[in-house]
Amino acid sequence: MAKLIDGKETAKNIREELKKEVEELGLQPGLAVVLVGEDPASQVYVRNKEKACATTGIASFKHTLSAETTEEELLGVIKDLNSDDKVHGILVQLPLPKQINEHAIIEAIDPAKDVDGFHPFNVGRLTIGRPTYSSCTPFGIMELLKRYDIDIEGKDAVIVGRSNIVGKPMALMLLAKNATISICHSRTKNLDDKVRAADIVVAAVGRAEFVKGDWIKDGAIVIDVGINRTDNGLVGDVEFTEAEKRASYITPVPGGVGPMTIAMLLKNTVEAAKQSGK
């Protein structure tokens, strides 16, 4: 039976560590959160980000814009935030309404305030192994692996999903720790065989129980990024009950990877504040 990786408890510990760090910092870190439109899921995420800031002593500045906001208007907001000294981190909640080009917005954020780690400058730094702001979900996964003393070096890691937010940066972070990586996706042949060979499986496809439990090798480490609402409640991208019997470590859904994302956003924001004082 696998050991459960407790993201909820780990995230709480990180928030407490950051709170102490903030108290000793001598300036208050500030995070601007920009929400365009009324997507209910995004509203929940943004509210949770504000709450997490409050528990950590980070100032949060919320900017709510209508669903009809133009790209120029949003670029104007970002320009103001880029030059606001109280703001150390800028987060534009994705997805954006379709009249706005997401790439243009991400590229307008000052890379020094890009606490989401989405700007091509920071992605490039991640690629060549330079210190950077890293995308919060894969960064949170690395932190879980570290805090559970899970060895990565030389392991075969299979990542299912190739998004810019999770799959690709996850691969780069595991590679930086000397794993051998495969990024699998919807066109991958014989996915089950690839997962069966994996020492570390990261499932980030956004489809309920897409990775079958009997694909998991005995002793493998299973990281489930999925949060899928079904008639049976929230389930991950991995068939948990079967996978749990085979894995050595597994993240539950909910309470695994999910809570770590915001904790790492706070960590990046505190780091951005520290860097701004240098």
What residues from 100 to 129 belong to the interface with ligand GUN (CB under 6 A)? 116
User: Rule CB under 6 A: is residue 91 a binding residue for ligand GUN?
Assistant: yes
CA angle 203–208–213, rounded 5-degree value: 60
Contact by Cβ (8 Å): 72, 12:
no
User: Rule CB under 6 A: is residue 157 a binding residue for ligand GUN?
Assistant: no
93 or 251: whose CB is closer to ligand GUN? 93
214 annotated active-site? no
Q: From the candidates 6, 93, 113, 114, give the one annotated as an active-site residue.
A: 93
Interface mask toward ligand GUN for 28-67; x: CB under 6 A:
----------------------------------------
Sheet holding 200-203, edge to edge: 3-4, 249-250, 221-224, 200-203, 156-160, 180-184
Residue nearest ligand GUN (C-beta atom) = 94
Q: From the candidates 6, 113, 114, 116, give the one annotated as an active-site residue.
A: 116
The closest alpha carbon to 225, from 140, 134, 147, belongs to 140
Q: How many CA atoms lie within 13 A of 273 on its CB side?
A: 24
User: Rule CB under 6 A: is residue 143 a binding residue for ligand GUN?
Assistant: no
Q: Which of 108, 126, 136, 141 binds ligand GUN (CB under 6 A)?
A: 136
Q: What are phi and psi of 233, to 5 degrees?
A: 90, -165
57 or 138: whose CB is closer to ligand GUN? 138
Contact by Cβ (8 Å): 90, 78:
yes
Q: Which residues bind ligand GUN (CB under 6 A)?
A: 91-94, 116, 136, 165, 261
Q: Which residues are known to be catalytic?
A: 49, 93, 116
